[in-house]
Amino acid sequence: MFKKIRKIIFILILANIAFILWGKFFNPPITITQISGILNYGKLERDYVDYDEMNSHVKKAVIAAEDQKFFTHNGFDYQAIEKAYRDNEKGKKIKGGSTISQQTAKNVFLWQGRSWFRKGLETVYTFIIELIWGKEVILERYLNSIEMGQGVFGVEAASHYYFGKNAKNLTKSEAAWIAAILPNPKKYDPNNPSSYLRKRHTWIMRQMNNVRLP
């Protein structure tokens, strides 16, 4: 029995290593979150595109909105994590302090939800993809795999869904609108923005001026 368990664990480890290496060159065929989107909304709107087909506006917008230290940290923003911990201890609205790298690890390899077990796996995957994939690949996988609407995944599908155009043709304002909905893409709609979303959009537009791409 012990040998069988050890063999299963060994196979799972090898499969994970193969999937991580494969992910450096290819987008995921499907993710757990995307399967959830199919089950919940009966659709999967997704169209993977290469990094060069995503214009600088959308890259700057998501970095400005989600992780302004993306190109300088090692996968973890320790100041943001510490602040999130202090805020959560004080009973404020729960925040994760997750970087784009961590969100990519979660969305590509894992599932949504809050647990120490999932967070531990996310940490391991984040560390590995930072070493193996590099920043450009991580950002491409992030922009292709994250949920950007009800059953809508990735910036290309979101561009068509909200603005009827390719991601490479998004204006600065349109890119900022897509980035603005990321805290809760199932709830927010750039075509029918709340006052909060309008303020967030304006803030992202300003922050984009401070983002420098390599």
d(CA 159, CA 208): 18
* 3-state class (DSSP) for residue 100: helix
Residue with tokens 């967030």: 200
**Sign of the dihedral through C-alpha 32, 115, 129, 180:** positive
Domains belonging to the chain, first-starting first, are 2-208 (1.10.3810.10)
CA nearest 172: which of 49, 56, 54, 51? Answer: 56
Q: Tell me, what's the pLDDT at 75?
A: 86
d(CA 187, CA 162): 14
Whether residue 133 contacts residue 141, with contact meaning beta carbons closer than 8 Å, is answered with yes
pLDDT along the chain (214 residues), means of 10: 70 80 91 92 93 93 95 84 63 68 94 84 93 96 95 96 95 97 90 94 96 92
